[in-house]
Structure 1
Amino acid sequence: MSENKIEELRKLLNVPEKGAEESASQQRSARFFNKPRCHDGYSPLAQLLQGGPEIGLGGDEKLTPGYPPVSLPQHDVVSNMQRADALKKAKKDNVFEYLELPGAVVHGNVLCDDVQNAKTWRHRGALDELEYNFGVDDASEDFAGVRLFEGTIAYVEKNFWTIVTSEGIAAKITKLLTVIYSGLVDSPETFSIEIMDPILVALPSRKCKNLQELDFYPTFCPTHPYYSDRIKQWPRAPYDRDHQSDDLLAWLVTAAPTPVFNYLKPFTEHQRNFPITNDHFRRVQGFELDDLDQAMSQGRLFILDYKDFHKETVANRNWDNFGARLHASIALFAIPQGSKQLKPIAIQPTQTPQKSGFWDDIGWFFLGIFGYGGNKNPPSKIITAGDNYWAWQMAKSSVTTMMSMAGVVDHLSTHVYLGPIPIAYFRNIPEFHPLRPLLDTHLMALVTNNHTGIFQVGADIGGTGNTYTNPFNGLLTGAIERLSGFSSETFVTSTLRRKNHYHFFEHSTPIDKYSDPVLAQIDDYPQHDDNGLMPIIREWVDGYLRLYYHSDYDVEKDTELQSFLYETNHYGQVKGFPSHARSIDKLVDIVSSIIYWMSVNHGFASLVSNMKIGSLGFYRDQPVDPNTPYSERDWLNVCPPMNVGAGLFFFSRIFTDLPEDWHRSLGKYPKGQFKHDPNVYPLLDVFQTSLKALDDEIREKNGRRRWAYDLRMPSTITVSPWN
């Protein structure tokens, strides 16, 4: 690229001249990476982009007065009038809304004080308060959160020459700036922009040419003085270098990216829509002398079947998504004789098997030319680990992309399912109640994040916009249409259907693999084996509640509590949530499950960040044939284009990673949260000590595993749905 072209880009981006003084907003701690980005900062892009946008995630916090002395309503003789006035106002401010998102209950007034006060980390004292909090300071006035754009800027810098020499790149950037300018001129009061659009428009939309281009993780210079602070906020998946390993696929189904659903089931009888045979079975190394039916009778076969997503995967296509599809795949796994390690055997990318016959073969031939199109039941052949290597890698991508999308659907569906709980909570539990110090932090940001993900259109550029907008164009729902094989409508429909599956107690009870002799055969099942959290949570809740509830009678006579439970059940329509409590033990169950749902069941691993296996689209319209001699180029073509991969990688950081271990993690409370009652601190110390011990136990276990699993680690589980 000529110097003139670089100067043209410099002017186009309105970049200050080299050596210009940094503004006050740029002179922050190096912890927030405002120094030159990648390598030593001497590349052309580092000179063009000094610092990037000052936008962070998770840094919002506020110093707030401490709680008043708390008590049950029947025992409050000091603040009863204030209490009554607060409840009267709360019931006006917090309302259940049934029409904005048909099929779900959302908060009808997200601008009210209760919601706005709950969207930030609110510490209630100086940093020398009694909370130990694992020695991590997240109440610092300097902390501005995780820098959202840094990964994308680092990627652009790493591939600078490839990107800027792409055809029409200056014109694409000019078009983006024109759209922004026109929007501001035409609608300055309501203008907003989807935060991925600059990436999707400015980066090339071609397929990646090699693995390096498909790798969107920053590679900062190790000699940089702040390298360790920078790189730890962009952790690579432990399996990043093993993305084509067959063992990885088997591991991923036992170390799921989301905690609630368990899609892997024992394969106990043949399925008409999945005609697996002994011939398929014996093509796989290690099973040449095995027998399919015998393995089934011995409980050594398992199936991963995404049939529940079939209607969504064949719904009306979004044709403006760079060609992404998703397939409701079926995959068979088996344990070899004399082993305890799960192995992948075969994959059928769709729910409809390809039939054998003259006309079927003709139809298959034309599918290979023209693709599936709008076929409502696209056929596919079974591909095994013993077939063409790249055909098998492509088949595995059909599974992992569906696994990734299922994780996103699961994640948002838990948000929607839990959404009515804080509405009833704010309506009925005033800050004088002992539940407030315990649960406020666990309910942090749920309402605002639900609203942003579903209703808020991208990032506001001008004005305030409407409180509620089209639910198919929120920060998450709108992004799905740009970054996946689902349309926004399909994604929302899938989310609402999924949230109806949940049961409050059933799905807050960890699954124990040892209760099923078939699952117990699998040597390491991290999703189940690592989950020792509910007993620890329950011990903490039990001790805390008994500070204030001295008998079952106290529970029954707590009118605020009973109203909260009743409204969550009847008005909030949270399936399985009890409408009342008559004992301390029952209340402990309820509150423990609330905390479990808001933290453990909110976990989300970083599979979707790994474009080699976890993108939200399978970029091929033609079926995969097990007998075709594909190449690595064919596999790269089913991976996302460069701009979509970068956009999805950047966007996924909003949902997955904490900036460091124990940052607002389970067990962490804001400074001063319990300073109104020193009796809480011995209980809190036991809680945090138990969590730390479990965390250490999982770390030790991960040290013996081929790939570490962190979804069940307390240090990386968020304390609430704040991200």
Structure 2
Amino acid sequence: MASALVAGVPVAATLGSPANAAPLFNLPLPFGDPAGPGSVNPLLPQHEVDPAGRASELGRLQSKYVWTEDANFVHGVPMAASLSIEDNPTLEWFVLVIDEHYQVISNIALALTRHFDHLIGDMLQPLVDQLFGLKATVDNVVRIVAPVLESPVAYPLDPPARAGEYLLTETVQTVLRTLDQIRDDLFTTLRKMFSSPGLGNFGTVDGVERYRNLYATIPVPEIADRLHDDMVFARMRVAGPNPMALRQVRGAVPANFPLDNKGYQSVMGSGDSLSAAISQGRLYLVDYAVLGSAASESATYKLLTGPGYNTAPMAAFAVPIGGGELEPVAIQCGQDPAKHVLFLRPDAGDADRYWGWQMAKTVLQTADFNHHEMHSHLGRTHLVTEAFCVATRRQLAANHPLSVLLTPHFEGLLYINKFATYLILAPELTGDLILAPVLEDTIASAGRARLSWDFYAEMPHREFAERGVDDAHLPFPYRDDALLIWDVIHEWADSYVRTYYGADGDVRDDFELVAWADEIAQVGKVRGFRRIDSVDQLVEVVTMIVFLASAQHAAVNFPQKDFIEYMPFYSGMTAAPAPSDPAGHTESDWIRMLPSLLTSIAQLYLFDVLGSVHYRPLGDYRTNTFPFANAINDPRIAGPGGPLDRFRAALRDAEATINDRNSQREPYTYLLPSTIPTSTNI
């Protein structure tokens, strides 16, 4: 959840940071070597003219970047032990993030003043004023140094550029200190807020309207108007935040999911049958048993949020016999059918079962939220990509062709991951506020997801085939767009890699590449990873790393703003247990399942920012050091009409293809190349 840190005003810290916590943001801003960033001549180590100097530099980097399996609460997962200056964000990134924080905090302060407790709103106003002043300061500095940032700079840096460097350094230091202060002040204020009797409750009549009132200056997400739409609920499996859980039913439904033909036909019609749906590959299942102890079914009690529930439900979905969009069929709110009755989708006019069905959908959405955040998002994008980043820093020299290519795809990653894991997984921070499980189970869930992820098996073509969702009869926007972007990246990786590796022997002779692969597999614990023996295999490896750091992260991160931000549609816990009977429920019963207002504010704040910051689109290869020169300068790659130009042209073509698809389907925009950051930097 990278999910969880955003530029110095981390949501989790603001809502639960220990009063005596050390400042998180106290690192200087990096600036380039006077020789000029990005000026390296890419060279394989077997052709190096100064092998001793290259080895010495690698030794220095290996001392600088050290592995640990106990980083920020993520026990057993290999990560970087500490950050280096080069891993800091840029001022450009801070500008985007501060602006988003200002908008969200201002919105919360005004909403509380209008609808909840004007005293609390008044208490938050000084924080809004601080952010506004901070934003104005940064905007002014950007205006002053813009000519430096936008024009060619001679090396060594000329006086205007050097002045801009000093100004940037001073400003970022101010940003870091002030955001630290805002984090602590906001936490203190919200603690006071939720000590007011009744303020943290939703009530049972005006609960959803009470939540909508949290939107004072930012728009209510469109999903709020389709909150109970069954087709939208089904669409989340193929075009929502977590398109990684749906699987085709093969042979028969699981023994612990007693969907029979009568029940199936009551939903899909007598012209269809359960056996036909299975034999024709039209029946699909989501099963959250993988959550394990993070879905205990019993209540967890937390100081700030009270009781919370999460289960491991199962649900069936089907494509109609004549084709069409995926439809929900049935939900079982746990793994044991002796404890959990099957909820069949009711007819539109079935008032007696309507609210029971809505409650069952909420149970499933809650499990999907937990699976998304710890498995598909944090574990299987952020934490996996870190292994490749650390190994690249340690084992590939700066002028190694793969280091030149991959480093921009790791821009901001270690910084985001360090604070994301801290802010999500520390006591009384985001994980405790938003997710139902006890913290130890949440941490264990993320660790299992990361360590069980298999490099080659998770490549999109293979992963889709293994889940049985590769058939075009299943409308699946994420799949279709992901494969399109994969192919574009693969063509780029192929052209790039073959520029430096003329034959398979060049791959095998690359001793830095051998050490890199060994470290990823053995120390980084990336399951399935192995030594690389051919150019074709190396192209596939590079494609996967670039896809993971850019497109895959975008696909699971940016839908959070549109869907997960809005708590009545998606939440990480329910405040009441799963329903035990499909009939006889009311809207008030469903509203009682919604988490507390504190959880809602944390969720709105966190995911609105995370889903709003798009920094450096795919194809943008610049360094992370002022003045952000091009990272790829080899004329064989970056020359006119060369591989980089062709890659960017292919991305534009892919954008046009997706836009055309969106004119013929409900739009899916999360893999438009212009919206995919080059790296996992948010």
Please state whether the residue corresponding to 1:564 is helix, strand or coil: helix
1:202 aligns with 2:193: yes
Q: In the superposition, relative to structure 1, how do residues 519 and 448 fare at CA in structure 2: closer, same or farther (>3 Å)?
A: closer
1:393 aligns with 2:358: yes
Please state whether the residue corresponding to 1:323 is helix, strand or coil: strand
Matches within 5 A, 1:418-457: 418-454=385-421, 456=422
| Residues in 2 aligned to 1:494 and 1:517: alpha-carbon distance in whole angstroms | 25
Match of 2:86 in 1: 117
Q: Whose radius of gyration is greater, 1 or 2?
A: 1
Match of 1:27 in 2: none
| Residues in 1 aligned to 2:185 and 2:322: alpha-carbon distance in whole angstroms | 53
Report deviation, 1:526.
0.9
| Residues in 1 aligned to 2:271 and 2:676: alpha-carbon distance in whole angstroms | 44
| Residues in 2 aligned to 1:517 and 1:104: alpha-carbon distance in whole angstroms | 30
Q: Is 2:319–2:474's contact at 8 Å kept on the other side of the alignment?
A: no
Report deviation, 1:491.
0.8
| Residues in 2 aligned to 1:143 and 1:517: alpha-carbon distance in whole angstroms | 40
Match of 2:677 in 1: 718
Q: Is 1:91–1:427's contact at 8 Å kept on the other side of the alignment?
A: yes
1:412 aligns with 2:378: yes
Q: Is 1:196–1:651's contact at 8 Å kept on the other side of the alignment?
A: no
Report deviation, 1:489.
0.9
Q: In the superposition, relative to structure 1, how do residues 689 and 484 fare at CA in structure 2: closer, same or farther (>3 Å)?
A: same
1:235-291 per-residue CA deviation (whole Å, 9 max, x = no partner) reads 945x442221111112111224146x343322641433222234433443x525544
Match of 1:612 in 2: 568
Aligned partner letter, 2:320:
P
| Residues in 1 aligned to 2:123 and 2:216: alpha-carbon distance in whole angstroms | 26
1:588 aligns with 2:572: no
Q: In the superposition, relative to structure 1, how do residues 324 and 99 fare at CA in structure 2: closer, same or farther (>3 Å)?
A: closer
| Residues in 2 aligned to 1:622 and 1:258: alpha-carbon distance in whole angstroms | 21
Please state whether the residue corresponding to 2:239 is helix, strand or coil: coil
Please state whether the residue corresponding to 2:452 is helix, strand or coil: coil
Worse-matched range after superposition: 309-318 or 410-419: 309-318
Aligned partner letter, 2:426:
N
1:147 aligns with 2:100: yes
Worse-matched range after superposition: 517-526 or 321-330: 517-526
| Residues in 2 aligned to 1:291 and 1:589: alpha-carbon distance in whole angstroms | 41
Q: In the superposition, relative to structure 1, how do residues 316 and 564 fare at CA in structure 2: closer, same or farther (>3 Å)?
A: farther
| Residues in 1 aligned to 2:402 and 2:527: alpha-carbon distance in whole angstroms | 22
1:709 aligns with 2:668: yes
1:215 aligns with one of 212, 216, 226: 212
1:449-489 per-residue CA deviation (whole Å, 9 max, x = no partner) reads 222222x358xxxxxxxxxxxxx417xx9411111212221
Q: In the superposition, relative to structure 1, how do residues 353 and 262 fare at CA in structure 2: closer, same or farther (>3 Å)?
A: closer
Match of 2:320 in 1: 336
Match of 1:104 in 2: 77
| Residues in 1 aligned to 2:114 and 2:260: alpha-carbon distance in whole angstroms | 50
Q: Is 2:451–2:525's contact at 8 Å kept on the other side of the alignment?
A: no
Please state whether the residue corresponding to 1:440 is helix, strand or coil: helix
| Residues in 1 aligned to 2:120 and 2:266: alpha-carbon distance in whole angstroms | 47
1:645 aligns with 2:600: yes
Q: In the superposition, relative to structure 1, how do residues 235 and 553 fare at CA in structure 2: closer, same or farther (>3 Å)?
A: farther
Q: Is 1:304–1:331's contact at 8 Å kept on the other side of the alignment?
A: yes
1:507-548 per-residue CA deviation (whole Å, 9 max, x = no partner) reads 123358689988636452112122212221122122222333
| Residues in 1 aligned to 2:59 and 2:466: alpha-carbon distance in whole angstroms | 48
Aligned partner letter, 2:343:
I
Report deviation, 1:383.
4.3
Q: Is 2:109–2:124's contact at 8 Å kept on the other side of the alignment?
A: no
Q: Is 1:328–1:349's contact at 8 Å kept on the other side of the alignment?
A: yes
Aligned partner letter, 1:319:
Y
Match of 1:128 in 2: none
Match of 1:576 in 2: 528
Q: Is 1:325–1:618's contact at 8 Å kept on the other side of the alignment?
A: yes
Report deviation, 1:627.
1.5
| Residues in 1 aligned to 2:548 and 2:220: alpha-carbon distance in whole angstroms | 25
Q: Structure 2: which 5+ runs fail to align? A: 1-6, 8-23, 128-179, 623-627
| Residues in 1 aligned to 2:281 and 2:500: alpha-carbon distance in whole angstroms | 50
Report deviation, 1:155.
4.0
Match of 1:530 in 2: 481
Match of 2:160 in 1: none
| Residues in 2 aligned to 1:280 and 1:213: alpha-carbon distance in whole angstroms | 37
1:323 aligns with one of 300, 307, 319: 307
Matches within 5 A, 1:4-83: 65-67=36-38, 68-77=40-49, 79-83=50-54
Q: Is 1:200–1:647's contact at 8 Å kept on the other side of the alignment?
A: no
| Residues in 2 aligned to 1:240 and 1:107: alpha-carbon distance in whole angstroms | 40
Percent identical residues: 23
Q: Is 2:433–2:602's contact at 8 Å kept on the other side of the alignment?
A: no
| Residues in 2 aligned to 1:246 and 1:615: alpha-carbon distance in whole angstroms | 17
Match of 1:679 in 2: 636
| Residues in 2 aligned to 1:716 and 1:303: alpha-carbon distance in whole angstroms | 30
1:271 aligns with one of 240, 254, 258: 254
Q: Is 1:118–1:440's contact at 8 Å kept on the other side of the alignment?
A: no
Q: Is 2:248–2:468's contact at 8 Å kept on the other side of the alignment?
A: no
Q: In the superposition, relative to structure 1, how do residues 703 and 450 fare at CA in structure 2: closer, same or farther (>3 Å)?
A: same
| Residues in 2 aligned to 1:446 and 1:710: alpha-carbon distance in whole angstroms | 23
Q: Is 2:392–2:403's contact at 8 Å kept on the other side of the alignment?
A: no
Q: In the superposition, relative to structure 1, how do residues 217 and 701 fare at CA in structure 2: closer, same or farther (>3 Å)?
A: farther
| Residues in 2 aligned to 1:107 and 1:533: alpha-carbon distance in whole angstroms | 29
Q: Is 1:97–1:106's contact at 8 Å kept on the other side of the alignment?
A: yes
Report deviation, 1:156.
4.0
Q: In the superposition, relative to structure 1, how do residues 336 and 84 fare at CA in structure 2: closer, same or farther (>3 Å)?
A: closer
| Residues in 1 aligned to 2:518 and 2:550: alpha-carbon distance in whole angstroms | 23
Worse-matched range after superposition: 246-255 or 97-106: 97-106
Q: In the superposition, relative to structure 1, how do residues 616 and 105 fare at CA in structure 2: closer, same or farther (>3 Å)?
A: same
Report deviation, 1:690.
0.7
Aligned partner letter, 1:406:
H
Q: Is 2:391–2:524's contact at 8 Å kept on the other side of the alignment?
A: yes
| Residues in 2 aligned to 1:589 and 1:83: alpha-carbon distance in whole angstroms | 27
- TM-score (norm: length of structure 2): 0.75
Match of 1:562 in 2: 514
How many residues get paired?
570
- TM-score (norm: length of structure 1): 0.71
Match of 2:12 in 1: none
| Residues in 2 aligned to 1:62 and 1:287: alpha-carbon distance in whole angstroms | 65
Q: In the superposition, relative to structure 1, how do residues 438 and 405 fare at CA in structure 2: closer, same or farther (>3 Å)?
A: same
Report deviation, 1:595.
0.9
| Residues in 2 aligned to 1:93 and 1:253: alpha-carbon distance in whole angstroms | 42
Match of 2:653 in 1: 693
